[in-house]
Structure 1
Amino acid sequence: MANDDHKQRMAQLEARIAAAKQASAPKPKGSDHHTQAQLAWRMVIELVAGLGIGFGIGYGLDSLFGTLPIFLVLFTLLGLAAGIKVMLASAREIQDDRLAEQAAEQTQGPAGDDGDEQGTRTHGN
């Protein structure tokens, strides 16, 4: 009877150790670095696209109406504002995703923390 209990406790301990090792395994740094670069390029492209579209609309209206600098400056500034707005929305989306990932990690918690403390107390006594 005691032998079966000992085997069962050892199997549970091994399962907790395996889960803890898997949970604390470091994530590869290379993929995280590329993800950060992709996010940075996404924001730069959104800003430049807003500026380019505003510049194009302003230049087109100026050449259509014969007033060169007025619409060009106005729509370039509007394009800059639109690009910044889209860039900030992207940053907020990324931040929300990161916070959701952190919340999911916290709800799962590190595997075996409570069990390790109890096991230490049981074996220490």
Structure 2
Amino acid sequence: MASEPDPDRLRALEARLAQVKEKPKAQQSTTAKGFSQGEVAWRMVIELATGIGLGFAIGYGIDTLAGTIPIFLIIFTLFGFAAGIRTMLGTARELGRKAEQAAKDEGN
């Protein structure tokens, strides 16, 4: 015996599926500019790694020219780390200001 599909149940199912498909878009966490939290985190990791890498390269270059390996390498790598942290904190402050501004705009 084959049973016929119930059209009312199918419409109800389609309505529930439509609701479920819309929810993830509303629940996705984004920053004020529309970037996801993961994108912001990667940006900060890249800023830190770039600072360390540039400090390492500059220190290694100076040490190679001066023949004093690893004094400047260590010093400039630490400077690069500090610069990367400072850049990350600046990005966090900027995103915080944008989030506050977006919250104020939503309130109006």
TM-score by length of 1: 0.61
Cα distance per residue 1:3-27 (max 9 Å; x no partner): xxxxxxxxxxxxxxxxxxxxxxx76
Matches within 5 A, 1:100-115: 100-107=101-108
Aligned to 2:36: 35
CA RMSD of aligned residues (A): 1.9
Amino acid at match of 2:26: P
Q: Does 1:81 align with 2:79?
A: no
Aligned to 2:12: none
Amino acid at match of 1:29: Q
Which sections of structure 1, spanning at least 5 residues, go unmatched?
1-25, 108-125
Aligned to 2:15: none
Cα distance per residue 1:35-69 (max 9 Å; x no partner): 10000000000000000000000011101110001
Q: By how many angstroms is 1:95 displaced?
A: 0.3
Matches within 5 A, 1:1-20: none
Bigger Rg, structure 1 or 2: 1
Counting aligned pairs with the same residue, the percent is 50
Q: By how many angstroms is 1:31 displaced?
A: 6.4
Equivalent pairs counted in the alignment come to 82
Which sections of structure 2, spanning at least 5 residues, go unmatched?
1-22
Alignment partners' CA distance in 2, 1:105 and 1:39: 22
SS across alignment from 2:98: helix
Alignment partners' CA distance in 2, 1:37 and 1:29: 14
Alignment partners' CA distance in 1, 2:56 and 2:83: 12
Aligned to 1:72: 73
Amino acid at match of 1:72: L
Aligned to 1:5: none
Q: By how many angstroms is 1:106 displaced?
A: 1.5
